[in-house]
A and B are shown apart, each in its own frame.
Chain A
């Protein structure tokens, strides 16, 4: 139950290898924050710096307002769950969970009864009461992970750190444990920092997600923000599976509004995206257009924005169908459609070689400029001017109009 603040935190290995650049983040009390990114992006290093297992090269880390840079891990009041569980093989499950409690120094020393109570309580929560007297090697992967979580739980620490806790489990167990972590979080109700490379875990668990790459934070936001309004192309492609379709194209504007030309078909940027582009007074430019596979739909031939293409590969996922299609102009794209919307006869026809027509609407388009930055990203709010802008904008518009008129 604490806030964690990272200010200009840097990690430099050796003389010049920078693993983490200038990491700034404020984690609120009882927030569940997820660091996500491809391997080598510095997410684990950052977590280990918070834990005190790595030295902080520059910057400060505060836990509950106290700078912890020079504190030993044990003095930071944190608990951590490791990817490989890190259970003590020579101790029973009970002793594993009691280990941190037995190490408490005299003022905070716990009685045997208290240790017993806390361990059995945690074991109950995690459903591992039956295994308390076994040794780690007699447990399955899922059970070991529960013990590792239990060992962290009994300590009632301010911050709960988890370093890819599910990545050693098989897919089915991972889904189950993911749901359990969500439940667990409600019970423990403390600050969580969770590291993963799995975007599904990030999306489902996090209150906020920190997307990292090459030691830089690429975006911090709620799962919805990160999914709907990715800051840049990397985030857009990293979050969501299958990954977002991208097209190099041009954003143009005529008297009706903005349009893009994709696979030889002119598409209007209608709806809120079009309005937003207008409001931002976006200049026509070369862009990378992104559309998520699940936002592309099949359509009629007569649809003016229909892109004719042929199916190359069909992946039947059960509840949905992933179609790898090739447009007549040569671009490849992935379309994800729910099988429930189709009749069996229709599904049977959606196989390799079949020609279909796909389309997507303006509201699902993402626009990235030459630097791969989202054109419509949330702009940093100018400080303390948020109350005033409306009259000013109106004035500006009036001024612009009068200027035009005078021209």
Chain B
């Protein structure tokens, strides 16, 4: 009984040792003198200033060299653009000239471009091709990318790898086959723009890679939350994912729209020698081919400037949508 009482005295609930317990404090350790830490800095008092100035001189020399190299590269890069722009306003002679600044300025070349050549036709054809490609390709790319990003289906890896590998083959390897195919369908030569539009659109799903990367950054839990909330796959894609994907939509639209303007090999080959079926690239080249360069060079330059315009305008209109962090706030950032 006494045993029980004694135990009860120290029961966990009754006394959490607050009252009585023994302890032996540790002996105080001898106080150690703190070791003196000598401050050492890279730039001391007297030596430092000299070293400092030599460092400054050296960095100035390095900077100068870097800037010279950059300036040279910049000139090489920008000169063709400036050259084309300046030569397009040259009125005194139509051929190649040995100088850059026109002696006589004017819009004669532009007027000639639109009145005396097939350029308006080429321009319109290219513009329409660009429009169709932009719409179809964007739809394709977004759908394919979203599917590859969100759905897990058999053969998904294989499909992605295959598309990547096929994308690495240079496009002109398929030229002859495509030409034959389009010729059979009557979509070559003068009708080449139709054939080209089909070709551009047909391969568009292969450009999934960048858009898929973008969709991968949109958290899957958004889709899942929407599925729980009762949205169908279609509603999720159109109501949630697309509004968040403006940058990638714009990127895809721009890329798709620009493709027909710069394509020379395929466009030229499809139209063969029928200049009615050219796009701007093939047309402009035709303008200065062989002996025509002496009479058409400045007109060709004017054509180059006009081609650059729609793309520049388009980009300027759309660039404000290139905003980072659209998904900010969706998940903890």
Which residues of A are at the interface with B, using a C-beta cutoff of 8 A? 51-53, 72-74, 78-80, 82-90, 99-100, 103-104, 135-139, 141, 144, 151, 155, 168, 270, 295, 297-301, 303, 310, 337-338, 340-342, 349-357, 359-361, 363-364
Contact (Cβ within 8 A) B230 A270:
no
Mark the stretch among B39-47, B58-66, B313-321, B324-332 that contacts chain A.
B324-332
Contact (Cβ within 8 A) B224 A82:
yes
Task: Give 18 pairs: A residue, B residue, CB < 8 Å, sorted on A.
Answer: A73-B224, A82-B224, A86-B330, A86-B331, A88-B330, A89-B328, A89-B329, A90-B240, A168-B332, A297-B10, A297-B12, A298-B23, A300-B21, A310-B26, A352-B26, A354-B25, A356-B23, A360-B12
A303 and B12 alpha carbons, distance in the complex (Å): 14
Partner of A337, one of B16, B27, B231, B240: B16
Q: Which residues of B contact A79 (CB under 8 A)?
A: 228
Shortest Cβ distance from B246 into A: residue:
A90
Q: Which residues of A contact B290 (CB under 8 A)?
A: none
Contact (Cβ within 8 A) B16 A88:
no
A276 and B7 alpha carbons, distance in the complex (Å): 19
Number of B residues contacting the other chain (C-beta, 8 Å)?
A: 39
Shortest Cβ distance from B16 into chain A, in angstroms? Answer: 5
Provide the B277-317 mask, 1 if CB < 8 A to any CB of A, else 0.
Answer: 00000000000000000000000000000000000000000
Q: How many inter-chain contacts with C-beta < 8 Å in the A-B complex?
A: 143
Q: Which residues of B contact A360 (CB under 8 A)?
A: 12
Shortest Cβ distance from B218 into A: residue:
A89
Shortest Cβ distance from B288 into chain A, in angstroms? Answer: 49
Shortest Cβ distance from A269 into chain B, in angstroms? Answer: 12
A350 and B330 alpha carbons, distance in the complex (Å): 49
Q: Which of A52, A300, A337 has the most CB of B within 10 A?
A: A300
Partner of A354, one of B17, B20, B23: B23
Contact (Cβ within 8 A) A337 B17:
yes
Q: Which of B229, B243, B327 has the most CB of A within 10 A?
A: B229
Provide the B10-30 mask, 1 if CB < 8 A to any CB of A, else 0.
Answer: 111001111011111111000
Q: Does B227 contact A (CB under 8 A)?
A: yes
Contact (Cβ within 8 A) A89 B17:
no
A349 and B333 alpha carbons, distance in the complex (Å): 46
Q: Which 9 A-B pairs have the closest CB atoms?
A: A137-B329, A353-B26, A341-B18, A298-B17, A136-B329, A100-B229, A84-B331, A86-B225, A298-B21
Q: Does B219 contact A (CB under 8 A)?
A: yes
Q: Which residues of A contact B26 (CB under 8 A)?
A: 310, 351-355
Shortest Cβ distance from A349 into B: residue:
B25
Q: Does B180 contact A (CB under 8 A)?
A: no
Partner of B228, one of A51, A270, A364: A51
Shortest Cβ distance from A37 into chain B, in angstroms? Answer: 20
